[in-house]
Amino acid sequence: MIAHSANGLGKEQSLQEHLQGTAMLCAKFLARLGFENCGYLLGCIHDIGKASTAFQQYIRQIPNTAAKGPDHSSASAVWLVPKNNRLASLGLVTLSHHRGLVALSDFKRLIQQKGADSNIKNALQQFVWENKLLPLLPLASNELERFEQKYINDVDKAILSSELLLRLLFSCLVDADYLDTEAHFSPETANLRRHYHNKITITSLWEKLEQNQKRIDENVEQTPINRLRQEIYTQAVQAAAGERGIYRLTVPTGGGKTRTSMAFALRHALLHNLERVIMAVPYTSIIEQNADVYRQIFGKEAVLEHHSSFVLDGDDEDSQQAIYYRLAAENWDAPIIVTTTVQLFASLFSNRPSACRRLHNIAKSVIILDEVQSLPQKYLLPILNVLQTLVDDWQVTVVLCTATQPALEKNNWLDGLENVHDIIPSPGRYFEIMQRVEYHVLAAPLTWQQLAEKVCEHHQVLVVVNTKKDALQLVDLLRHYGKKVFHLSTLLCGEHRRDVLAKVKAALKAHQECILVSTQVIEAGVDLDFPVLYRAMGPLDRIVQAAGRCNREGRLTDETGCNVKGKVFIFTPVDGRLPAGEYSTATQITTAILNSESCDLSDPRLFNLYFERLRYDCVQDAEGIQNLRNQFNFPEVANRFHLIDDVNNVAVAVCYGQGTEVIDQLTDKIKFGHRQIVSREDYRKLQPYIVNITRNDLRNLNNQGLVTHWLEGVWLFTGKYDEVKGLTQEGFLPEELIF
């Protein structure tokens, strides 16, 4: 009996070889977490359905048939469930390993239905090594029983912990199955994985960071801010000796959080035998910036940058390292991973095999959640519960990073995190010392014309508004006044935004006139330094994050050379718009705080008040995720959990820069009938030239003949792409121009 057809060398893989190979890998993954026997059992039975006569006839016809083969995933569950009730959960895992995690209620129905299937009955009759597996059942059952005993007095926690356990078992089986299959069909790829695996250790990474930090300490200009950064870094390294758990890193904007958080994470991982560091960031602009910093310190091989916009340099895309990057992104088998919060939580809440495959490598890691205040309130409860479970059960340490720290601890209003430790004791002292701006709340609302006139008074100024419509209106006014204006919003493709940032940095460095009008895409983590900021009234944390782009290095001086603070003006636009939902609610709370209380925006304690009020006004589990998890309804959890509400968004390719060449090459493929060979790598190359718009906007642009359907899931913009505004607003509805 064979599991896989002949590979390039003409060798078939027997069913026993595949089951044994998958079992050994799955057991290896789970041994480090105390479930070695469960892992071995999962691997041994996951494909026993391939023993059926029908499947063997099918697989020997490949590649002469395009037909879908008989179900081979369900036989393992049909065999296992009657043997041991506690091991029924493992049956759900094996039944799901191709189709994705099924709901518990559907699993029970499928077991009854599949038990009567003649092909499955035939497969079980051919299952000749059944007796060899029977002694394994009580061993696997004992491992699950030990886990259950941990929460014997807390039923609610037991259910949710078991739900995450099932996901982790599923992840291990899926990855082991993929890897063993890959070793058969593509042994050179498997060898490449082995070459890079364990090549870089946590110890070597920590040594590189120590050496790099020593060079910085010796060579950097000893300004007050740099001395504070060094002090913060030292305290973080000392705090890394603490126990595994949940930590809070509260550092003022510009306080060296990127280096400090990695120093804590690597030192902590080294001391606690953890395997990798995963930095999750809400915005791709910060990912690219942070990943560049880490590559300079640790080298390219050590850092996996994983997000939809990442494209390798053209010269490197066919190199062994580039291939390894793509492989490591599949299962996060890398020492340092810089990714999006969307990718991280997709691994934890999805039911798809490709997304869940990475989950087991989240265990035994340090997770750095950068700009943690950006986690949406509507998913806060399930996110915090999963993070706590990772810490309690799967040897994870979580680091919550931001200058605007939300109160996420368990209290009367929030079933939050337990035993949160501060990496930097008394962080308020650093906020006080590093005050680089003074805030001015403008009492009278401003028209856009009044704002434009104020902006024109400054040589270098950043303006951050709440919507794309507002940004475009202000850009038009400033251009009418003869000003050269830079613009940043999601109307610009990713490559265009990177180019704008580079030009802005160059203009600031050269002390040239520089006016930048932006939406919230500029606020967190982008390394810019303006002397003056105008920020439209918005959520309090967004205002303070934007202020981090003003006098960032504390180098601003007056005519006499004395240090002065940057100026941040908070204004209310007369006819400005707000994004609906949580953003609007947060803006109303901020307005009330700023107008009714004498508050110090540089005091981190202010955010306890702000986030408590926000929690009171927002539902922390608006989609009922926790109830669905209690029911083990994996598909519906995946259906409802979307950190980014992109269900109604459509990708549009634009001709900007080298995007024109990329689009021309893909168009030629399509023209000559090769649409079917447009690869995932082609889509990756296209990603920097994509603008996401709503379906309503797409409909309007389509009615005007400005877009054409081009690739699967991608439209092509045929109108004029504006060098300042980006994807021009013809056909856009005003209410859609939010971000």
Secondary structure E strands in 282-364: 303-306, 336-340
Report the sign of the C-alpha dihedral through residues 102, 107, 109, 115, in that order: positive
Q: What is the pLDDT of residue 323?
A: 67
- In contact, 433 and 603? CB cutoff 8 Å: no
Q: To which H or E segment does residue 365 belong? A: strand 365-370
Decide if 244 contacts 397 (C-beta within 8 A). yes
Domain boundaries, the chain: 2-182, 202-432, 436-601, 649-736
Say what the pLDDT of residue 319 is.
Answer: 59
Whether 387 has a pLDDT exceeding 90, the answer reads yes
What is the DSSP code string of 63-74? TS--SPPPP-SS
pLDDT for 516:
98
Strands 714-717 and 707-711: antiparallel
With vertex at residue 513, the alpha carbon angle to CA 511 and CA 519, rounded to the nearest 5 degrees, is: 110
Output b/e per residue, 459-479; b: 16+ Cβ within 10 A.
ebbbbbbbbbbbbbbbbebbb
Distance CA 191, CA 182 (A): 10
Residues 291, 186: Cα–Cα separation, whole Å: 30
Structure tokens at 323: 């291939």
> What single letter denotes the amino acid at residue 134?
L
DSSP per position, 147-204: HHHHTTT-HHHHHHHHHHHHHHHHHHHHHHHHHHHHHHH-HHHHHHHHHHTTTS-HHH
Q: Please, which residues have CB within 8 angstroms of residue 490's CB and are 6 or more apart in sequence? A: 468, 519, 521, 691, 692, 739
- 385's CB contacts (< 8 A; 6+ apart) are 160, 415, 626
What SS3 class is residue 536? strand
Starting at the earlier edge strand, list the strands of the sheet with 276-281: 303-306, 336-340, 276-281, 365-370, 397-402, 246-250, 420-422
* Radius of gyration for the chain, computed over Cα atoms and rounded to the nearest angstrom: 28
Kindly tell me if the per-residue pLDDT of 499 is higher than 80. Answer: yes
Q: Scanning the structure block, which residue is given the tokens 């609007």?
A: 584
pLDDT averaged over every residue in the chain: 89
pLDDT at position 325 is 62
246: closest CA among 229, 264, 271, 228? 264
pLDDT digits (tens, 9 = 90+) for 589-618: 999 999 876 778 878 788 888 988 888 877
Do the domains 436-601 and 202-432 match in fold? Answer: yes
- CA gap 574, 555 in Å, rounded: 34
pLDDT at 259: 94
Residue with tokens 């089951």: 19
How far apart are alpha carbons 520 and 542 in whole angstroms? Answer: 8
- Of residues 515 and 303, the one with the higher pLDDT is 515
CB-based contact 633:697 (threshold 8 Å): no
What local confidence, expressed as pLDDT, does residue 644 receive?
Answer: 78
Q: What residue spans of 48-103 are helical by DSSP H? A: 53-59, 75-80, 88-95
DSSP state of 736: G
According to the model, what pLDDT value does residue 733 have?
44
Per-residue pLDDT band for 64 (boundaries 50, 70, 90) equals low
Q: Which SS3 state, helix, strand or coil, does residue 522 take?
A: helix
Question: Is the Cβ–Cβ distance between 300 and 321 less than 8 Å?
Answer: yes
pLDDT confidence of residue 67? 65
Mean pLDDT of 268-272: 98
Which residue, 270, 300, 281, is CA-closest to 399? 281
d(CA 395, CA 389): 9
Percent of the chain with pLDDT over 90: 65
Cα dihedral 345, 348, 349, 351, rounded to 10, equals 130
Nearest Cα neighbor of 541 from 595, 488, 587, 592 is 587
Q: pLDDT tens digits for 666-698?
A: 988 887 765 556 777 788 889 899 999 988 899
Q: What is the pLDDT of residues 127-141, one digit of tens each?
A: 878 888 999 999 999
Which tokens in the block code for residue 52?
């059926």
pLDDT recorded at residue 523: 67
199 has a pLDDT exceeding 70: yes
Task: Work out the pLDDT band at 314, boundaries 50, 70, 90.
Answer: very low
Second-level CATH architecture of 202-432: 3-Layer(aba) Sandwich (3.40)
What local confidence, expressed as pLDDT, does residue 735 receive? Answer: 45
Phi and psi at 605, nearest 5°, equal: -70, -20
Q: What is the pLDDT of residue 15?
A: 95
pLDDT(268) > 70: yes
Residue 258 has pLDDT above 50, yes or no: yes
CA separation, residue 231 to residues 256, 421, 424, 679 (Å): 10, 18, 10, 49
Tokens of 329: 């992104």
What is the rounded CA–CA span in Å between residue 148 and residue 145?
A: 5
Q: Locate 269 and state its tokens.
A: 């991982």
Angle formed by the axes of helices 155-185 and 341-349, nearest 10°: 100
Q: Provide, for the chain, the percentages of residues in helix, strand and coil under a 3-state DSSP scheme, each rounded to the nearest 5.
A: 50, 15, 35
Structure tokens at 567: 């100026």
Q: What is the pLDDT of residues 203-228, one digit of tens each?
A: 999 999 999 999 998 888 888 888 89
The confidence band for 423, taking pLDDT boundaries of 50, 70 and 90, is very high
CATH 3.40.50.300 fits 436-601, yes or no: yes
Query: CA–CA separation, 166 vs 146, rounded Å?
Result: 15
